[in-house]
Amino acid sequence: MQRRDFLRSVAGAAAGAAIGPQRAGGTGGARAQGEIPRRALGQTGLEVPILGLGGFHVGSVGSEAEARRVVEVAYEEGIRFFDNAESYQNGQAERWMGSALRGIREQVMLMTKTFDLAGRNAEGAKRHLEGSLQRLQTDYLDLWQLHSVRSVEDVDRAFGPDGAMAYILDVQRQGVVRHVGVTGHADPAVNLRALEHFDRGIRFDVMQMPVNPIDYHQRSFQRTVLPALVERGIGVIAMKTSAQGRLATDGICTVEECLRYVWSLPVDVAVVGMERPDLVRRNAQTARAFSAMSDTELNALRERIRPRAAIELEWYKA
């Protein structure tokens, strides 16, 4: 489903009703056999494969050699979107990923984030950027994001005159950072607050948030924030696509069902944590075989798991 069709469907829904099941906004046109589908990342002008590698899990494997192998296999499988954050394992995730991407840096989209809940100021963001560039062994970022906004007050501080977002936008103008974004895990209302600042002229390119089948039933990002992003042409990065594995380990639905569900929405790329090469290969195969769920399939999955909905499954919201 194209973004305009998704919006038309949402606009036609009754007030307070759930948005109906939607198909994804294209796959970037025809692709070679065996290639991961690609989608436009909002209005950035970039096209990215629909599967990205989560940096937190790269930093949590047993050794740098294991992390390197995960990154290498991801690249071999056609993944070109690499997620990270300066806060992951005190910078270890960035160091390991930066080392593993040496020699292929120019062929990938590299993203990291700044997280400073206490300050959210330009000084902290500047310190984080300098450290991230050094650890990732690069002199620019394809995407840099204000990470994990937690409250309305947190957003307002970050978007204030001396806040982190002012610095993020400044280095974007300098070309050190090509695109900028915001991530939020806990409360859709907080992400919507960031969109209020967007509407006042503090523009960013993408937003990253939890999207998975159980999210539909509880404090839902896909039912509130996703339509607002589509309306504004902001790129959508999904995370927590299986609620950090809980939907699979608790027998609620499979990882494959979760990914197919997410990609059947207007999501541009799903960042997935994968600690082992076999998980990378399996998820890449799921991406290559992707076909959008029909409305009937989406509704059936939502109704099947509805009785299992519990906010504890998505601890990051609680």
**Which residue matches tokens 């292929």?**
104
- Checking if the pLDDT of 1 tops 70, the result is no
- pLDDT number for residue 117: 82
**pLDDT of amino acid 33:** 55
41: left (phi over 0), alpha (psi -120 to 50) or beta: beta
Q: Provide the whole-model pTM.
A: 0.91
Residue-wise pLDDT for 9-46, tens only, equals 433 332 222 333 232 444 434 345 589 999 999 999 99
Binning pLDDT at 50, 70 and 90, where does residue 169 land? very high
Q: What is the pLDDT of residue 25?
A: 41
List C-alpha distances in Å: 283 to 52, 84, 242, 286: 10, 19, 12, 5
Which alpha helices (DSSP H) does 77-121 contain, by range? 92-100
pLDDT in tens, 113-168: 999 988 899 999 999 999 999 999 999 999 999 999 999 999 999 999 999 999 99
